[in-house]
Each structure stands twice: as structure tokens, then as C-alpha cells.
């Protein structure tokens, strides 16, 4: 199945090049790669244009849901992969995708954790690993946990539920998406299906604060179908 990679980008000059390099290196050679510029004022556009394979789109309305939806509406792949601009694919990423979707015909969505390349091994072990294990356990119980910046979905499925909810700024967008998708098939959150990512959000707001926010919004969406937090600060 053909894959379309969708990468939102707002002032990502520090990260976007490495992200695209990893997709080109570790993704399939026929993959479609779409970057959505979300009003960047730095060198993001120039860096993206230096990659001939990459399609660059523009979305004027700020927010990850708007940019991801823009990419989805322009994607031609049967599978759509949503990757954050500060993430980098691993050599095993594509092998896991092929294996999972081949072996499980009921699978409609595959997601996995982040491990931080700009944090120490100790912090990753003590913080990222337990949080990721909790996410994996939660998905086994609810079939509705994904990480929005490392998720691949069957396009026909995400289109059936109307795509990304653009009324949400940031927190809870992936929880609501996963909850809707879970009614149509199996969601797999695999701890081996990870990407390397920056820890900028955790470093800026503090790890306990970020984990608490994600947890509260997960519970709030499960109970009330909307996130608790309505605002999001961009950390660049």
C-alpha cells in the first residue's frame, strides 16, 4: 500500500531537514511526502524546497489539526502517516508498518512512542519509558490511544470519521481521533514502533506538567468528548 507522510511545520528550521532525511532514508521509495507550512517566518520553506521529492502546501490557520487535515485532503496514499517535524524515523519503522498491516487485516491504525534524542538515557529510561508503557497499557484497555506525531492510519478509515477535529487547538486532538477510529477497527500501540523526537515541550513546561496535561485531557475526552485544556503554547 502506498504511504503518504504528512508533516505540519511552523518555524521548524531547526528540525525539519533531519525529519525529511529520515523519511527519505527509511521510508519506501515511492512514498508521498507532504509538508504543510503553517505561517512559518524562518527558513522552514527554503529547507523543505531543497528536497525535490517533497510537496509543500500552505495552511494559513494556525494549529496542528488544521495542518494535518490540509495534508490529509491532499494525500493520495492508502495509508497516511502523521509525523511531527521534530521527529525522526528509525530503520525499523517501515518494517513494522509492513508486518503489522499484512498480518492483521482488522488493523486500521498503528501508533507508537517517542524517545528523546536531546535528553539523557537516564531521563528517557526514568520518564519516557514509564509514560510510554502506560500509554500501551491504556490502549490495550480502551483501543483508543495514539501519539499524533507518530501515527499511521488507513486513509479510508480516517476519512469515514471526518478527519481531524479542527475545533481543537492541540491537547486532545489525537485522543478524539483515536476514540472515533476505535469504532471502526483495531488500534495498535506498539512500543517497538517508536520515533526519535525532541523534548522541547517537556523541557519548556516541565515533565510533570506535560504528563499531567496529557493525562487530564485523555480522561476528559473519554468522559465528555472534548479536551480540558483549550490553549497551547508553541515551543520553538
The better pLDDT of the pair 236, 35 is held by 35
Q: What is the pLDDT of residue 204?
A: 63
Question: Residue 41 — very low, low, confident or very high, per pLDDT cuts 50/70/90?
Answer: very high
Q: What is the pLDDT of residue 223?
A: 66
Higher-confidence residue of 111 and 213: namely 111
Query: Does residue 236 lie within any of the structural domains?
Result: no
Q: What are residue 2's phi and psi, to 5 degrees?
A: -70, 140
pLDDT at 229 over 60: no
183-205 tens-digit pLDDT: 999 999 999 999 999 987 665 66
| Local confidence band at 172 (pLDDT 50, 70, 90 cut-offs) | low
pLDDT score at 131: 80
Residue at 232 is within a domain: no
Q: How is the beta sheet containing 107-111 ordered, strand by strand?
A: 54-58, 32-37, 3-9, 79-83, 150-154, 107-111, 186-189
Tell me, yes or no, whether 233 lies in a domain.
no
- Share the mean pLDDT of the chain: 90
The reply to whether 204 falls in a domain is yes
Q: How far apart are CA 191 and CA 132, in angstroms?
A: 7
What are the pLDDT digits (tens) for 78-119?
A: 999 999 999 999 999 999 999 999 999 999 999 999 999 987
| Element (DSSP H or E) covering residue 58 | strand 54-58
Q: What does the pLDDT read at residue 195? A: 98
Tally the domains of the chain: 1
CATH number for position 52: 3.90.550.10
Whether residue 231 is contained in a domain is answered as: no
- Whether residue 77 lies inside any domain: the answer is yes
CA distance 131 to 81: 22
**How many angstroms separate the CA atoms of 48 and 110, rounded?**
26
For residue 235, being part of any structural domain is answered with no
The verdict on residue 183 lying in a domain is yes
Report the pLDDT value the prediction gives residue 235, as an integer from 0 to 100: 47
Q: Which three cell numbers stand for residue 38?
A: 503553517
**What's the whole-model pTM score?**
0.89
Please say whether the beta carbons of 92 and 178 come within 8 A.
no
Of 79, 236, 63, the closest CA to residue 151 belongs to: 79
Residue ranges making up the domain that contains 159: 3-224
Amino acid at each position: 500500500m502506498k504511504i503518504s507522510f504528512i508533516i505540519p511545520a511552523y518555524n521548524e528550521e531547526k528540525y525539519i531537514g533531519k525529519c525529511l532525511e529520515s523519511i527519505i532514508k527509511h521510508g519506501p521509495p515511492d512514498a508521498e511526502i507532504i509538508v504543510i507550512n503553517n505561517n512559518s517566518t524562518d527558513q522552514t520553506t527554503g529547507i523543505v524546497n531543497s528536497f525535490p521529492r517533497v510537496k509543500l502546501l500552505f495552511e494559513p490557520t494556525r494549529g496542528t489539526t488544521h495542518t494535518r487535515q490540509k495534508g490529509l485532503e491532499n494525500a493520495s496514499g492508502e495509508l497516511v502517516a502523521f509525523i511531527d517535524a521534530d521527529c525522526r524515523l528509525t530503520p525499523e519503522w517501515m518494517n513494522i508498518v509492513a508486518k503489522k498491516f499484512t498480518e492483521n487485516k482488522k488493523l486500521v491504525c498503528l501508533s507508537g512512542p517517542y524517545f528523546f534524542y536531546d535528553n539523557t538515557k537516564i531521563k528517557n529510561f526514568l520518564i519516557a519509558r514509564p509514560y510510554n508503557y502506560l500509554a500501551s497499557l491504556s490502549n490495550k484497555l480502551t483501543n483508543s490511544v495514539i501519539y499524533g506525531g507518530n501515527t499511521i492510519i488507513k486513509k479510508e478509515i480516517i476519512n469515514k470519521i471526518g478527519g481531524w477535529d479542527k475545533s481543537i487547538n492541540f491537547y486532545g486532538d489525537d485522543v478524539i481521533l483515536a476514540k472515533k477510529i476505535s469504532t471502526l477497527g483495531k488500534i495498535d500501540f506498539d512500543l517497538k514502533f517508536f520515533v526519535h523526537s525532541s523534548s522541547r515541550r517537556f523541557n519548556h513546561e516541565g515533565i510533570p506538567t506535560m504528563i499531567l496535561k496529557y493525562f487530564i485531557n485523555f480522561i476528559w475526552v473519554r468522559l465528555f468528548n472534548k479536551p480540558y485544556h483549550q490553549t497551547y503554547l508553541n515551543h520553538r
